[in-house]
A and B are shown apart, each in its own frame.
Chain A
Amino acid sequence: MNLQFLADGLLSGMMIGLGAIGVTVTYSILRFANFAHGELLTSGAYVAWAASFALTALAGGAAPPLGPFSFGWTVLVGGVFAMLFSAALALAIDAVLFRRLRKGASIVVVMASFGASLALRSLIEFVFSSSPVYFSQELQISRPLGFGVRVTPDQLALIGVTAVLLVGVHLLMTRSQAGRSMRAVSENPTLARVVGVNVEDIVRLTWILGGALAAAAGAMTGILVQIRPYMGFDLLLPLFSAAILGGIGSVPGAIVGGIAIGIAEAATVDFIGSQWRAAVSFLLLIAMLLVRPRGLFGGRA
């Protein structure tokens, strides 16, 4: 048996986990499932792409690739720019749309996010057209890692970047005052307000965190595969499944859920057929809802 699917699944699963953190945190603090989260990923990927090419033009020529990787410093700076952009976009959507509806039934906010998802995705496709774009046309040679597993330098680098981001978010949530306040609001908003937590600040922080991580996941998926207007929307079901699998509100849960879905998808592609890949996260979701709706790491059903 070839273990390649484990490596492929781990990598795509970490990307899903990164995006699912935003889903699980907004779900537990704002108490609604944000269907526009996929578009934060997509817009992040396009902004990183556009910014890296703008930087290349400003620098007067393509930057040399860093070491063995396919990308240069412009892509890294573009990625940071994209994280800022998606965070700002998430804040803007909240200010224009979600905040005004939050007083009413929470399901109306879900519906608004559904409309926002279509509007954003169509605008992205209007601006960038439906043909996919790439950070680089270079082909990378994958290198053997043992046990028949081969990875490209890019894949290793992205696993590293994702691991750093994940540890950073975990430390933020568990060790900082802001993280403690976020968990307090997610447990009980009224009580958190009573003990002096500024809930509006926490809501903003939630959007910044979710938007920035979505952009990072989008840009990295763009480096690994390609960038297209539907990339985020197609990831929405895996993102939701990962969040529910791990337990709503749990950051480690989102990552574990994401990796589980990534590996299950890769195994499906290897052993059953790639055309059924999109059904995997749905089956895992249904199985989880039947067996343990709270998810692996607690949370609320």
Chain B
Amino acid sequence: MTLSILAYGAFFLTTALAFAIVCLGLNLQWGMTGLFNVGVAGFVAVGAYASAILTTPPSDMHIGGFGLPILVGWAGAALASGFVALAVGAVTLRLRADYLAITTFGVAVVIHLVALNAQWLTGGPFGIGFIPRAFDGLADRPLAFAACNLAVAIATTITIYLWLERLARSPWGRVLRSIREDETAAMSLGKSVTRYRLQAFAIGGAIMGLGGALQAHFIGFIAPNNYLPNFTFQVWAMLIIGGAGNNRGAMLGALLVWALWSVSGGSISAFVPAGMQARASELQLAAIGASLCLVLLLRPRGLLGEPRNWLKPAPPS
């Protein structure tokens, strides 16, 4: 009994940390740079599919079967998502802020369509299975398997977090925030606003892709409908509730919202009669949307908000 609770706890945390990584990527785009990405699900999907195609054994269902190591898959995931973000940003970042929102929304729609219909590439509606999982040799010992995966997820999240903190305190990070606060002032200091934005958007997209790959290799199976707009809504609720502009807030929001989501989802399947469950989970989604609006109205800084000490240079290391 305790064993299964521990294993479930590790499973929950690993899933939540994959969200935390995606959330950190979004925080670089929105929290630091003020770029509104409504296509989070699309960038995560590109990463998950890229890594799956690179690492899966040969299959008749789709392209690939390269059987490469998982780490190569992760690198491919970050590259692919970063490249998509770069292309989207190149078209829209010189225009009004809303155009980026509309375009990223469209990108996510198209990526979902490709995942669903380009069967030669993505396996179509059935998705891609047999994605190699790290530590598969431990599969008969669930606790050790869960613990090893959790350790990898924690290490990845912390590495990204520390790197982003360094970036945020670096001259580069200060330029990003100055652009967000006052574009004209940054421009008059000779900073190429579009280039900095493009860099932040591409790096943020790459981190999202990495989060998608981590999740794909943990579960071992992906399908187009994992990456619907509701995924984007969830990640946004995590960031806004946790506190945009704060990397710890992004991670805290991911853990908190995913915990609330899992608990409410669990109680729906436990207490709500089978015929009503679909409707009850609609209320769950409505609560996500409503809490996004409420936080924006009542506590726009979220739980943690942006730290003030970012203006100081990083401590010598």
B91 at the interface (CB under 8 A from A): yes
CA–CA, A241 and B107, complex, Å: 13
Q: Pick the interface stretch among B69-77, B96-104, B145-153.
A: B96-104
Q: Is the CB of A118 within 8 A of B292?
A: yes
CA–CA, A126 and B278, complex, Å: 8
B110 at the interface (CB under 8 A from A): yes
Q: Mark A202-237, 1 if CB is under 8 A from B, else 0.
A: 000000000000000000000000000000010011
Residues of B within 8 A of A275 (CB): 113, 116-117
Q: Is the CB of B289 within 8 A of A115?
A: yes
Q: Pick the interface stretch among B51-59, B189-197, B293-301.
A: B293-301
Interface bin, chain B:
35 or more
Q: Is the CB of A33 within 8 A of B102?
A: yes
A130 at the interface (CB under 8 A from B): yes
Q: Is the CB of B230 within 8 A of A106?
A: no
Interface bin, chain A:
35 or more
- Picked from A101, A108, A122, A282, the residue with its CB within 8 Å of the CB of B289 is A122
B136 at the interface (CB under 8 A from A): no
- Picked from A108, A279, A301, the residue with its CB within 8 Å of the CB of B96 is A301
Q: A114-B236, A115-B292, A236-B105 are in contact. Are A289 and B99 (CB under 8 A)?
A: yes
Q: Is the CB of A108 within 8 A of B109?
A: no
- Chain A residues 261-301 with CB under 8 Å of chain B are 275-276, 278-279, 281-282, 285-286, 289-290, 293, 300-301
Q: Is the CB of B286 within 8 A of A101?
A: no
Q: Is the CB of A33 within 8 A of B101?
A: yes
B261 at the interface (CB under 8 A from A): no
Residues of A within 8 A of B102 (CB): 33, 237, 240, 244, 285
Q: Is the CB of A114 within 8 A of B109?
A: no
- Chain A residues 95-152 with CB under 8 Å of chain B are 97, 100-101, 104-108, 110-112, 114-123, 125-126, 129-130
Q: Is the CB of A123 within 8 A of B286?
A: yes
B interface list, Cβ under 8 A from A:
34, 36, 38, 91-92, 95-99, 101-103, 105-107, 109-110, 113, 116-117, 229-230, 233, 236-237, 240, 278-279, 282-286, 288-293, 296-297, 300
A selection of 21 A-B contacts at a CB cut-off of 8 Å is A35-B105, A110-B36, A111-B292, A114-B233, A115-B236, A115-B237, A115-B288, A119-B292, A123-B286, A129-B279, A244-B99, A275-B113, A275-B116, A276-B117, A279-B113, A281-B106, A285-B103, A286-B106, A289-B91, A289-B95, A301-B99
